[in-house]
């Protein structure tokens, strides 16, 4: 299905169906009620408009919750353009509602990889040909594109290397086309960027890598490692949205099934708990002895993928690593095993390797609305791959719920204000703990929580201020 395109007087957009805007608006209104942190941020900064006139490009799942983030940034004065960061994660009614209010948005559920990168470009470049002042990124694709663009201009041999993936093929094509017209295009774009706020673990890995190599082109704020992001979104968000994704895809009873969760970091902890709550029999795989021991203490069996192949019914990857489940693993799985990923990208499960198995037969069970494919091996056994190996919670369900995204996105707004208001170095910064505590505070009333207050004597006794921060920087929560 091709996306409906149209132009409005207020700006351009590219969404599946603008007629879904009213439905989107109704769901945005429900979400606002469940996103107290974002709404409080609007109240606090509405008059001051700290983002007035600042061009913000967003590359982050175009969901209902993101719509509330976008409208918060708009209320603070930002001039926005947006695309999704995943070909399957857009909620088309959310995109339509944002388009209808006149914010340029380029996203629909089920984009091709080529379209995906074209949409990143559309969100990146304003009608006057200039780029963004600031980026909201999730997974590092927008930031990565700018860095690859600059690299291709400074070292043209880079663009002549063989692309290693379908994404790289699309990116190289776009970069080569731009280079024909303007050999300094990306250097100008990069020079105009004040900074990026990055949402997720994998994006932070990429930023740290660039910073360590001295190649980071602009400052970055690490939103992921705010406690109110990674210890909430990654854990409780995935605890909610993993079973949602698996059930919408397969309508399978998880109770009694053997489920292998690969990785027991923040996401893995939420996923393993969710599967345990479903009364599944959970096996965890880990490479880190500390996380492995934590899994044991939580009552999970720790084993290797190979040990579970003959018995496991469901596999979930959440390592942020590549080829954790290989084609060879899938060839050895029991018939009708379900395989999905909630980590990052489509190479935690080696989808390319799976497709390359000689004689493999692929049957589409469900299309882009909730992608499910059956892969039948030459020996006759099959496995089900959800969301084509991409994020199952966003590909087959609607991602994390409002309340948890309110925590994550309150951090995003604070990070964007920080970038707009301070002169930062080309480093990766954390959000100050006091603001992290503030994000949590904004969500307490909704849970009916009443916070105790330290006396001065108690504060002195444990060596903190009465008003916080309440923990030292390295505290692990």
Ligand X SMILES: NC(=O)c1ccc[n+]([C@@H]2O[C@H](COP(=O)([O-])OP(=O)(O)OC[C@H]3O[C@@H](n4cnc5c(N)ncnc54)[C@H](O)[C@@H]3O)[C@@H](O)[C@H]2O)c1
Indicate whether 449 belongs to the interface with ligand X (CB under 6 A): no
**Can you name the residues that pair with 366 across neighbouring β-strands?**
372
* The token pair that represents 260 in the structure block: 């292998």
- 199 as an active site residue: the answer is yes
**Can you name the residues that pair with 364 across neighbouring β-strands?**
373
- 29 as an active site residue: the answer is no
- 382 as an active site residue: the answer is no
Instruction: Tell me which residue has tokens 């009552």.
Output: 299
Residue 204 CB, nearest approach to ligand X (Å): 8
- 63 or 258: whose CB is closer to ligand X? 63
- 302 or 459: whose CB is closer to ligand X? 302
**Contacting ligand X (CB under 6 A), which of 79, 92, 137, 286?**
286
Indicate whether 405 belongs to the interface with ligand X (CB under 6 A): no
* Number of neighbouring beta carbons within 10 Å of residue 114: 15
- 84 as an active site residue: the answer is yes
Where does 139-260 have alpha helices with state H? 141-154, 166-181, 185-192, 201-212, 227-230, 238-250
46-75 positions binding ligand X, by CB under 6 A: none
191-220 positions binding ligand X, by CB under 6 A: 200-202
- 178 or 354: whose CB is closer to ligand X? 354
Catalytic residue, chosen from 27, 59, 61, 346, is: 61
Q: Which range touches ligand X (CB under 6 A), out of 5-13, 172-180, 213-221, 279-287? A: 279-287
Which backbone phi and psi does 428 adopt, to 5 degrees?
A: -105, 115
Indicate whether 393 belongs to the interface with ligand X (CB under 6 A): yes
- 340 as an active site residue: the answer is no
Indicate whether 288 belongs to the interface with ligand X (CB under 6 A): yes
**Helix or strand holding residue 382 (H, E):** strand 382-386
Catalytic residue, chosen from 134, 197, 412, 416, is: 412
- 369 as an active site residue: the answer is no
SS3 173: helix
194 with 134: CB under 8 angstroms? yes
Task: Find how far residue 468's CA is from the centre of its chain.
Answer: 30
Helix 266-277 to helix 289-297 angle, to the nearest 10 degrees?
20
Indicate whether 238 belongs to the interface with ligand X (CB under 6 A): yes
**Contacting ligand X (CB under 6 A), which of 59, 249, 324, 420?**
324
- 141 as an active site residue: the answer is no
Indicate whether 285 belongs to the interface with ligand X (CB under 6 A): yes
- 59 as an active site residue: the answer is no
59 with 135: CB under 8 angstroms? yes
Distance CA 384, CA 374 (A): 5
CA quadruple 469, 470, 474, 477: dihedral, nearest 10: -130
Residue 241 CB, nearest approach to ligand X (Å): 6
326-365 positions binding ligand X, by CB under 6 A: 342-344
Residue 63 CB, nearest approach to ligand X (Å): 10
Secondary structure string (H, E, C) spanning 292-325: HHHHHHCCCEECCHHHHCCCCCEEEECCCCCCCE
Indicate whether 264 belongs to the interface with ligand X (CB under 6 A): yes
Interface residues toward ligand X, by CB under 6 A: 200-202, 230, 233-234, 237-238, 262-268, 285-288, 291, 318-321, 324, 342-344, 391, 393, 400
């Amino acid at each position: 299905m091709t996306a409906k395109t149209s132009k409005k007087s207020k700006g351009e957009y590219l969404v599946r169906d603008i007629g879904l805007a009213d439905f989107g608006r109704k769901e945005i209104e429900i979400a606002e009620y469940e996103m107290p942190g974002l709404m409080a941020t609007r109240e606090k900064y509405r008059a001051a408009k700290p983002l007035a006139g600042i061009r913000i490009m967003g590359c982050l799942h175009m969901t209902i919750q993101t719509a509330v983030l976008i409208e918060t940034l708009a209320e603070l004065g930002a001039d926005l353009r947006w695309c999704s960061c995943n070909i399957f994660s857009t909620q088309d009614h959310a995109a339509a509602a944002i388009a209808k209010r006149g914010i340029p948005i380029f996203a629909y559920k089920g984009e091709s990889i080529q379209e995906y990168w074209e949409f990143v470009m559309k969100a990146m470049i304003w009608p006057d040909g200039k780029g963004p002042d600031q980026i909201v990124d999730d997974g590092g694709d927008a930031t990565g594109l700018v860095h690859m663009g600059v690299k291709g201009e400074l070292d043209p041999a880079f663009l002549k290397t063989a692309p290693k993936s379908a994404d790289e093929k699309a990116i190289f094509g776009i970069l080569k086309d731009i280079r024909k017209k303007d050999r300094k295009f990306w250097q100008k774009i990069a020079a105009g960027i004040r900074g990026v706020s990055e949402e997720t673990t994998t994006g932070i890995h990429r930023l740290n890598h660039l910073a360590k190599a001295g190649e980071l082109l602009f400052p970055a704020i690490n939103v992921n490692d705010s406690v109110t992001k990674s210890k909430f979104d990654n854990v409780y968000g995935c605890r909610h949205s993993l079973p949602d994704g698996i059930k919408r895809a397969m309508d399978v009873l998880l109770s009694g099934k053997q489920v292998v969760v690969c990785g027991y970091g923040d996401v893995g902890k939420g996923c393993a708990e969710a599967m345990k709550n479903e009364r599944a029999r959970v096996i965890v795989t880990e490479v880190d002895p500390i996380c492995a021991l934590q899994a044991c203490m939580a009552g999970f069996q720790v084993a290797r993928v190979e040990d579970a192949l003959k018995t496991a019914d469901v596999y979930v990857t959440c390592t942020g690593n590549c080829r954790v489940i290989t084609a060879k693993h899938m060839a050895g799985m029991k018939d009708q095993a379900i395989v999905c990923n909630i980590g990052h990208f489509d190479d935690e499960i080696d989808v390319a390797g799976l497709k390359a198995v000689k004689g493999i037969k692929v049957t589409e069970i469900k299309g882009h609305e909730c992608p499910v494919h059956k892969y039948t091996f030459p020996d006759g056994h099959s496995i089900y791959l959800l969301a084509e190996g991409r994020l199952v919670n966003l590909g087959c369900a609607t991602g994390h719920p409002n309340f948890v995204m309110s925590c994550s996105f309150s951090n995003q707004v604070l990070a964007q204000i920080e970038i707009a208001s301070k002169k930062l170095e080309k480093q990766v910064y954390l959000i100050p703990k006091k603001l992290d505590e503030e994000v949590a505070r904004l969500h307490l009333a909704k849970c009916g929580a009443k916070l105790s207050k330290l006396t001065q004597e108690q504060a002195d006794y444990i060596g903190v201020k009465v008003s916080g921060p309440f923990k030292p920087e390295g505290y692990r929560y």
